[in-house]
Amino acid sequence: MPVDFSGTWNLISNDNFEGYMVALGIDFATRKIAKMLKPQKVIKQDGDSFYIHTTSTFRDYLLQFKIGEEFEEDNKGLDNRKCKSLVTWENDKLVCVQTGEKKNRGWTHWLEGDDLHLELRCENQVCKQVFKRA
C-alpha cells in the first residue's frame, strides 16, 4: 500500500520560492504578493487518482491526475505555460515531470513524520515547502 497524502495541509516553510518564481518568469509585482502567502493544500487520494487543490487568499490552483497517465497541464494562474505532466511513484514519493518550454520542471511530494514536503523544480532553481496538518 502506498502512503496516503489525503488531508488538509498548511504551509509552514517555503525556501527559495522567490528563485523558483523567477525561473518561471513570474513578474515582480506578482512575486511580492505570492511570497507573502501561506497556501493551504487539500489532497484527496483514491487509489491512483489524485486531487490536489492549492488555495490562498490570492489565487487557487487545482490539479487532478492519475498515476502513470500523462496529461496536459495549463498552469492557469501560475505561469500559464502549458506542459505535459506525468506523475509516478518513486518508492513512497510522488514525482511529477512537467515537460515543456522550461527545462527540468517538476515537483516531488513526500511525507516525513507528520509533515507533507514538496520540492518544486524549474531550470536550476529548487523551492522547498513544508506543510503541517490543519
Q: Which residues in this chain contact ligand VLP in the complex, by CB under 6 A?
A: 21, 24, 26, 30, 34, 37, 39, 41, 52, 54, 56, 58-61, 63, 78, 107, 118, 120
Reading across the β-sheet that carries 125-133, which strands appear in turn? 61-66, 49-55, 40-46, 7-15, 125-133, 115-122, 106-112, 93-100, 83-90, 71-73
Minimum CB separation from ligand VLP for residue 4, in Å?
15
Place of cell 492549492: 54
- Closest to ligand VLP by CB, 63 vs 83, is 63
Per residue in 21-46, is it b (16+ CB within 10 Å) or e — as a string?
A: bbbbebeeeebeebeebebbbebebe
- Closest to ligand VLP by CB, 64 vs 68, is 64
Minimum CB separation from ligand VLP for residue 95, in Å?
11
Minimum CB separation from ligand VLP for residue 18, in Å?
10
Minimum CB separation from ligand VLP for residue 48, in Å?
16
- Closest to ligand VLP by CB, 1 vs 29, is 29
List all residues 6 or more positions away from 68 whose beta carbon is below 8 Å from its beta carbon. 48, 86, 87, 88
